[in-house]
Chains A and B, each alone.
Chain A
Amino acid sequence: EVQLVESGGGLVKPGESLRLSCAASGFTFSRDWMSWVRQAPGKGLEWVGRIKSKADGGAADYAAPVKGRFTISRDESKNTLYLQMNSLESEDTAVYYCTREPQISGWNGWFDPWGLGTLVTVSS
Chain B
Amino acid sequence: DVQMTQSPSTLSASVGDRVTITCRASHSISSWLAWYQQKPGEAPKLLIYKASTLESGVPSRFSGSGSGTEFTLTISSLQPEDFATYYCQQYYSYRDFGQGTKLEIK
Residues of A within 8 A of B (CB): 35, 37, 44-47, 50, 61, 63-64, 97, 107-117
Contacts and interface: CB of A to CB of B under 8 A. Distances in A.
A114 B32 contact: no
Contact of B43 (A46, A47, A50, A115): A115
Interface of B: 1, 32, 34, 36, 38, 43-46, 49-50, 55, 87, 89, 91-92, 94-100
Contacts of A64: 1
B31 to A, nearest CB: 10
A119 to B, nearest CB: 12
Determine the main DSSP class of A at the interface with B. Answer: loop
Contact of B49 (A44, A45, A61, A110): A110
B97 A45 contact: yes
A109 B95 contact: yes
B100 A47 contact: no
A107 B34 CA distance: 13
29 contacts: A35-B95, A44-B97, A45-B36, A45-B87, A45-B97, A45-B100, A46-B97, A47-B89, A47-B95, A47-B96, A47-B97, A50-B94, A64-B1, A97-B44, A107-B50, A109-B34, A109-B91, A109-B95, A110-B49, A110-B89, A111-B34, A111-B36, A111-B46, A111-B89, A112-B49, A112-B55, A113-B46, A114-B43, A115-B43
